[in-house]
Structure 1
Amino acid sequence: MTLIILKMLLKEILMKVFDLHCDTLYKVVTLSHDFSCSDFDVQTDVDFDKYLQCFAVWVPDDLSVKQGRSLFDKAKSTLIQECKKYDIKLINSLKEIKKSNCKKLGMFTLENCKIIDNDISYIKYLAESNIKIATLTWNDKNCIGDGAMVQNPTGITEFGKRAVCEIENQGIVIDVSHASDKLFYDVCEIAAKPFIATHSNSRSVTAHRRNLTDEQAKIIFENGGIVGLNFHNAFLNNEPEKASIDDIVKHAEHFLSLGGENSLCLGGDFDGGNLPRDIENNRNLYDIYNIFLQKNYSKAIIDKIFYENAVNFFENFDIC
Structure 2
Amino acid sequence: MRIMDGHCDALTKLYMNPKLDFDKEEQELDVSYPRLKQAGVKVQCFAIYLSDSIQQPTFDHILQMVDLFHRKIVRHPGMKLIQNVEDWRAVEAEEQIGAILTLEGLDALAGNMTHLRILHHLGVRSIGLTWNYANWAADGVMEPRKSGFTRKGKLMLKELETMGIIADVSHLSVTAFWELVEVYAKPFIASHSNAQKVCPHPRNLSDDQIKAIIQCQGLIGITFVPYFVDCANLAVPITALLKHIDHVCSLGGEGNIGFGSDFDGIEQWMKDLRHVGQYGNIIEALCKNYKETQVEAFLYGNWRNFMLTNLPK
TM-score category of the 2 structures, normalised to the smaller one: over 0.9
Structure 2 CA distance for aligned equivalents of residues 216 and 205 of structure 1? 14
Q: Deviations over 1:137-183 (max 9, x none)?
A: 00010011100101121211000000011012112100000001011
The answer on 1:154 being equivalent to 2:147 is: yes
Query: What is the identity, as a one-letter code, of the residue corresponding to 2:79?
Result: I
Equivalent of 1:281 in 260, 275, 278? 275
Structure 2 CA distance for aligned equivalents of residues 28 and 205 of structure 1? 33
Call closer, same or farther: CA 1:112–1:319 in 2, change over 3 Å.
Answer: closer
- Moved segments of 4+, more than 3 Å: 44-50, 60-65
Structure 1 CA distance for aligned equivalents of residues 273 and 39 of structure 2? 17
Aligned pairs for 1:172-191 within 5 A: 172-191=165-184
Query: What is the identity, as a one-letter code, of the residue corresponding to 1:28?
Result: L
Equivalence for 1:17? 3
Structure 2 CA distance for aligned equivalents of residues 265 and 307 of structure 1? 7
Q: Deviations over 1:91-121 (max 9, x none)?
A: 1323321332243111110000112212122
**TM-score, normalization by structure 2:** 0.92
Aligned pairs for 1:164-179 within 5 A: 164-179=157-172
Secondary structure of the residue that 2:48 maps to in structure 1?
strand
Moved more, 241-250 or 23-32: 241-250
- 5+ long unaligned stretches in structure 2: none
Equivalence for 1:75? 65
Identity of aligned residues (%): 29
- 5+ long unaligned stretches in structure 1: 1-14
Q: Deviations over 1:67-94 (max 9, x none)?
A: 3423211211111112213621111323
TM-align CA RMSD = 1.8
Query: What is the identity, as a one-letter code, of the residue corresponding to 2:70?
Result: I
Equivalence for 1:8? none
> Retained in 2: the 8 A contact 1:50–1:104?
yes
**TM-score, normalization by structure 1:** 0.90
Moved more, 173-182 or 54-63: 54-63
> Retained in 1: the 8 A contact 2:83–2:312?
no
Aligned pairs for 1:200-211 within 5 A: 200-211=193-204
Count of residues paired in the alignment: 304
Structure 2 CA distance for aligned equivalents of residues 72 and 305 of structure 1? 31
Structure 2 CA distance for aligned equivalents of residues 231 and 50 of structure 1? 16
Call closer, same or farther: CA 1:95–1:44 in 2, change over 3 Å.
Answer: farther
Call closer, same or farther: CA 1:46–1:198 in 2, change over 3 Å.
Answer: closer
The answer on 1:302 being equivalent to 2:292 is: no
Moved more, 52-61 or 159-168: 52-61
Structure 1 CA distance for aligned equivalents of residues 109 and 5 of structure 2? 25
Aligned pairs for 1:135-150 within 5 A: 135-150=128-143
Secondary structure of the residue that 1:216 maps to in structure 2?
helix
Equivalent of 2:188 in 195, 214, 224? 195
Call closer, same or farther: CA 1:45–1:191 in 2, change over 3 Å.
Answer: closer
Residue 270 of structure 1: CA displacement?
A: 0.5
Equivalence for 2:251? 258
Residue 25 of structure 1: CA displacement?
A: 0.5
